A = this chain, B = another copy of it.
């Protein structure tokens, strides 16, 4: 028996947690009260983090099976009810190229909006912008994108990085004229297959977005190759260019690094993250690979760290189950699977498992 000071013990596991409920996971003693004074792994965590739920756009866009507009609307409404304050609703891109996003106008018009929630759509050009803004309701935010990789830019939108920025100048101007917010996403910020992406490549795109008066700079690891130290190092540099509260991170879980990368981003001061319910989506350049980092896994992390999101994790797990049933696929969220599994099971004595 090794003596442990009572104070230390109480700090690690306050007596108010971990008792009684045999179906819920044990509550984590997260040192919540001492969050900003107790030296631990992730320090100076924010009180609150904003999750941008992108499953209805980046998720569904990369699913081989398509769902109806009614299903999309139901999904977005579930996100609103779950408490998300930022939701990506769709993309106004060519239905010949991205049939999954056909009907984004109907979805934007059909959802039940909630005061204070930011509904955003992605547009690649003025044609998309007109589609996005021709309905009764304007989206709160327009998302434009530019690649840090020249090769990806050519593959993705069939034009050079410089040309893609020219395309967006009118979109940006009109967005502002119409009183909407503007988000610029830097895709492939951590590389693309066969291409070199340098720090200058990223900062060039960021500078272009700043010239376009973007309200938010979104740094995307489009093919999911980043690891935590690269994320932190890039952000430490970018913080000299953009106020950290105007940056957000978009991670794919292609190599399973999403949660680690979010930890690194939190430590760098980032407070806004894109995530996708049930890890919907995939990587168009590695078919069969995982999609966006799963909302449920990220919410589990944040809530256990004592960081508020305003989002109901159980409601998100339910939304995940809803859309997975529609898509006929398995979940890409480990926490989502665990939450559903725990609900459907009572604990029983079993054999030696370790």
Q: Which residues from chain A sit less than 8 Å from chain B, CB to CB?
A: 1-2, 4, 8-9, 12-13, 15, 17-26, 28-31, 38, 40-42, 58, 61-62, 91, 93-94, 97-98, 122, 124, 145, 154-158, 185, 187, 190-200, 203-204, 206-207, 220, 222-234, 236-237, 241, 250, 253-260, 262-264, 267-268, 283-290, 294, 296-297, 300-301, 304-305, 330, 333-335, 337-338, 340-342, 344-345, 347-354
A229 cross-chain contacts in B, Cβ below 8 A: 30-31, 40-42, 305
- When all copies of this chain in the complex are counted, the total is 2
Q: How far is the CA of A262 from the CA of B261 in the complex (A)?
A: 12
Q: How far is the CA of A192 from the CA of B18 in the complex (A)?
A: 9
Asked whether A225 and B28 contact (CB < 8 A) given A124-B352, A354-B187, the answer is yes
Interface centre among A22, A200, A305, A334 (most CB of B within 10 A): A334
CB distance from A225 to the nearest CB of B (A): 5
CB distance from A131 to the nearest CB of B (A): 14
Q: Is A255 a contact of B335 with CB atoms below 8 Å?
A: yes
Q: How far is the CA of A75 from the CA of B52 in the complex (A)?
A: 42
Asked whether A97 and B352 contact (CB < 8 A) given A193-B23, A286-B345, A300-B257, the answer is yes
CB distance from A108 to the nearest CB of B (A): 18
A41 cross-chain contacts in B, Cβ below 8 A: 228-229, 231-233, 263-264, 267-268
8 contacts between A and B (CB under 8 A): A26-B195, A38-B233, A97-B351, A124-B352, A145-B352, A156-B349, A227-B304, A288-B340
Of the residues B62, B193, B226, B305, contact of A227 by C-beta under 8 Å:
B305
Q: How far is the CA of A23 from the CA of B154 in the complex (A)?
A: 17
Q: Is B193 a contact of A228 with CB atoms below 8 Å?
A: no
Q: Is B290 a contact of A349 with CB atoms below 8 Å?
A: no
Q: How far is the CA of A260 from the CA of B198 in the complex (A)?
A: 26
